[in-house]
A and B are shown apart, each in its own frame.
Chain A
Amino acid sequence: AQSVTQPDIHITVSEGASLELRCNYSYGATPYLFWYVQSPGQGLQLLLKYFSGDTLVQGIKGFEAEFKRSQSSFNLRKPSVHWSDAAEYFCAVGASGTYKYIFGTGTRLKVLA
């Protein structure tokens, strides 16, 4: 069965530090992968997506993610975190041949001033 795992429930980083949020997926074919960000009490905003091609994907707000097939991972990175990046981050995979998406349980990011 397809699944998405975000191993870190909470992550705390200092402002200006680098960030990496982990995402592992279980899927037989090449997956469609997404990262979303959610601020408290709001909906999810798309940060970036991967379908095929270049395995390093650039997104909005200075985020990037790298698809590694051998590790079944799609980790989200940012070189320098800003206080406004504090939010919850969700990794998702689109199930090929369907209209459905599978979401991870999210990673809550706290940024220290």
Chain B
Amino acid sequence: SQTIHQWPATLVQPVGSPLSLECTVEGTSNPNLYWYRQAAGRGLQLLFYSVGIGQISSEVPQNLSASRPQDRQFILSSKKLLLSDSGFYLCAWSIGTGGSNQPQHFGDGTRLSIL
């Protein structure tokens, strides 16, 4: 069966520090991968998605970036965090051979607090 791992679960960082959140999927090949940010009362905001190694689509211009160095690894990064980057970050995957007719499967999220 497929599983998705996301870490760390909680992170407290000072303003201006770098960020690296990692997500890995097991049990499937060539998944579509997604990063979302969730703010209270505002639902899920799609940040990045990837349909293959090295392919990244950005949905929201900001100081975050994403990379996919391996088939089942998706990394969210920042060089300098802002206060507004605080939030709950979710990684998700869906079957690579399907489009949006396939459901997404989510990790447990990372709670990021910027001080």
Chain B contacts for A99, CB-based, 8 A: 32, 49, 51, 57, 94, 99-100
Cβ 8 A contact of B104, one of A97, A101, A106: A101
Given contacts A90-B44, A106-B43, contact A100 B100 (CB under 8 A): yes
Q: Complex Cα distance A42/B4, Å?
A: 13
- Contact yes or no, A43 B43, CB < 8 A: no
A selection of 30 A-B contacts at a CB cut-off of 8 Å is A32-B100, A32-B101, A36-B106, A41-B109, A41-B111, A43-B92, A43-B109, A44-B90, A44-B92, A46-B104, A46-B105, A90-B44, A94-B99, A94-B100, A94-B101, A94-B102, A95-B100, A98-B99, A98-B100, A99-B32, A99-B49, A99-B51, A100-B59, A101-B100, A103-B44, A104-B43, A105-B42, A105-B43, A106-B41, A106-B43
- Judged by a CB distance under 8 angstroms, whether B56 is at the interface is no
A contacts, CB < 8 Å to B:
9, 32, 34, 36, 41-46, 49, 51, 90, 92, 94-101, 103-106
B contacts, CB < 8 Å to A:
6, 32, 41-44, 46, 49, 51, 57, 59, 90, 92, 94, 99-109, 111
Chain B contacts for A44, CB-based, 8 A: 44, 90, 92, 104, 106
Q: Complex Cα distance A17/B102, Å?
A: 32
Which of A49, A97, A101 is the most central at the interface, judged by chain B CB atoms within 10 Å of its CB? A101
Cβ 8 A contact of B90, one of A43, A46, A97: A43
Contacts across chains A and B counted by CB atoms under 8 Å: 64
Chain A contacts for B42, CB-based, 8 A: 105
Chain A contacts for B43, CB-based, 8 A: 90, 103-106
Q: Complex Cα distance A49/B106, Å?
A: 15
Q: Complex Cα distance A96/B111, Å?
A: 31
User: Chain A nearest CB: distance from B48 CB in Å?
Assistant: 11
A94 nearest CB neighbor, chain B only: B100
User: Chain B nearest CB: distance from A25 CB in Å?
Assistant: 13
Chain A contacts for B111, CB-based, 8 A: 41
Chain B contacts for A45, CB-based, 8 A: 106
B46 nearest CB neighbor, chain A only: A100
